Homo-oligomer: A and B are copies of this chain.
Amino acid sequence: MLELANEACEACTSEDEPLVESEYAEYHTELRGDVWEVVDDHHLEATYNFEDFRDALEFTYEIGELAEEEWHHPDISLEWGEVNIEMWTHKIDGLHKTDFVMAARMDRIHKQYA
């Protein structure tokens, strides 16, 4: 087990190349399969479900706090009972290990709302 959620979010320098599938495949298997999808080898998309608006709102705020701590900011959409996330590393216009570490941490946060 990689235990991705426990790893540090590495700073991404512009010298890094976006990950290709053979590189991110192992990270992807650590994420919740019913939540996270890699789209066009370019970004991660997630749909989290909740009981109501309140839980979706609190989760949004927690994810936002994580984004600020790690200085890595996804797009977040909030509606009744659902939060959608789009995330990639803008500096390299593609996926970095940090995106997968962030995703694993979001999975961990979401467990509180189950």
- Chain B residues near A8: list those with CB within 8 A: none
- Chain B residues near A73: list those with CB within 8 A: 53, 79-80
Cβ < 8 Å to B, chain A residues 56-75? 57, 60-61, 64-65, 67-68, 73, 75
Interface-centre pick from A54, A61, A78 (highest chain B CB count, 10 A)? A78
Interface residue A25 (Cβ < 8 Å from any Cβ of B): no
A61 to B59, CA, bound (A): 10
Main secondary structure of the interface of A (DSSP, over half): helix
The answer to whether B68 touches A53 (Cβ under 8 A) is: yes
Q: What is the interface size of chain A, counting residues whose CB is below 8 A from a CB of the partner?
A: 16
The answer to whether A76 touches B78 (Cβ under 8 A) is: yes
Q: How far is the CB of A67 from chain B (nearest CB, A)?
A: 7
Q: How far is the CB of A62 from chain B (nearest CB, A)?
A: 10
Interface residue A77 (Cβ < 8 Å from any Cβ of B): yes
A105 to B42, CA, bound (A): 38
